[in-house]
Amino acid sequence: MLHESAIVLLGSAQRAHARRQVVNSIRIATISLPHPTFAPDEVISPGPQDIFELTEQLVHQSVLMGADFVCLPELFAYFNTSVPMEDAAESIDGGAAHSFLSSTAKRYRTNIVATVSTKLDDGNFNLGVVYERAGVLIGSYRKVHIPEGEQGISRPGNDYPVLDVEGLHVGMQICHDLIFPEGCRILALNGADVIFWPNQWGGMPEMETDILMRARAIENRVCLVSSAWVLSGDGFFRVPKIHGRSCVIDWDGTVLAEVGIRVGMAVATIDLEEVQRRREIRDRLLEDERQPRTYGRLVV
């Protein structure tokens, strides 16, 4: 796969030439946003409207770099508000974050992957969503593994859907999900080529986070796209510091593009012909060589 970072800005002629070199390709962007430190005396900044404006700017920059998909951090619209998490759930129809995602995807003609605290008929969920280029919600995923601090606030989901979007088979995990290998494995068995991982990751050393992300990509022969937060104040945590890591990791564990310790975006190119070759290798590994008859303990 090609290795490109959006940190290097290309002119329009260069971008066109680069795109012609990989005719059958998809470009994926990941975004880092500023996260408040939650120090008791710290003002939360930017505010909710500002975070929409900043997110739109970064989506626009991603599209200028040719992004077909843009991934945002977990609950991108929530952490810059003072609303208690249990009161933050919004409806899909008319909710501020959902409306923003729909209009932004349509305005910039790109696919946006994000998560929104969402009120559904059967409860509140940390809902992963995919809005396609026309601004239509084409698929969703309910976060399955709910950490202690979120239990009682959002309900767990119970399945691992895979979407076919422009020839790419797309799945999602959200933050705490990645600790449990079963979710990514099921997505791979369901045919995922790319697993998007919006997260609000913390509490784990950077090296462990890096190993965990690479392992999920390698063991399942998928591309992993992480979108995380950067702590952004003068409070307890100090800055700059990575809160997770926004990057695109290839199926062999290679980091194709990363944002670094800053607010910004990065873009990587995925060759769809190589994706097809990868599917054949993965199918042989997962369908012909696995021994599920011995895995009963995993579901006890």
For residue 240, say if its preceding peptide bond is cis, omega within 30 degrees of 0.
yes
Question: What does pLDDT average to over the chain?
Answer: 85
Q: What is the mean pLDDT of residues 270-286?
A: 90
pLDDT for position 137: 98
Could you tell me the pTM of the whole model? 0.87
pLDDT for position 8: 34
> Could you give the 3-state DSSP secondary structure of residue 41?
coil
* 198 or 11, greater pLDDT: 198
Over residues 245-274, the pLDDT tens digits come to: 899 999 999 999 999 888 899 999 999 999
> Could you give the 3-state DSSP secondary structure of residue 62?
helix
Superfamily holding 12-299: Carbon-nitrogen hydrolase (3.60.110.10)
Over residues 140-174, the pLDDT tens digits come to: 999 999 998 788 889 999 999 999 999 999 999 99
Query: What ranges do the domains of the chain cover?
Result: 12-299
Q: In what helix (H) or strand (E) does residue 226 lie, and over which residues does it extend?
A: strand 223-227
Buried b (16+ CB within 10 A) or exposed e, 95-112: bebbebbbebbbebebbb
Residues 6 or more apart from 16 whose CB is under 8 A from it? none
Q: What are phi and psi of 180, to 5 degrees?
A: -100, 115
* 109 or 288, greater pLDDT: 109
> What are the DSSP calls for 69-83, one per residue?
EEE--TTTTTTTS-S
Segment among 84-88, 125-129, 153-157 with least mean pLDDT: 84-88
pLDDT for position 48: 56
pLDDT for position 159: 97
Helices (H), the chain: 12-21, 48-64, 96-108, 181-189, 206-220, 272-283
For residue 272, how many C-alpha atoms fall within 13 Å in the half-sphere facing its CB?
A: 16
Determine how many CB atoms are found less than 10 A away from the CB of residue 159: 9
Query: Would you say 141 and 172 are in contact if contact means Cβ atoms under 8 Å apart?
Result: yes
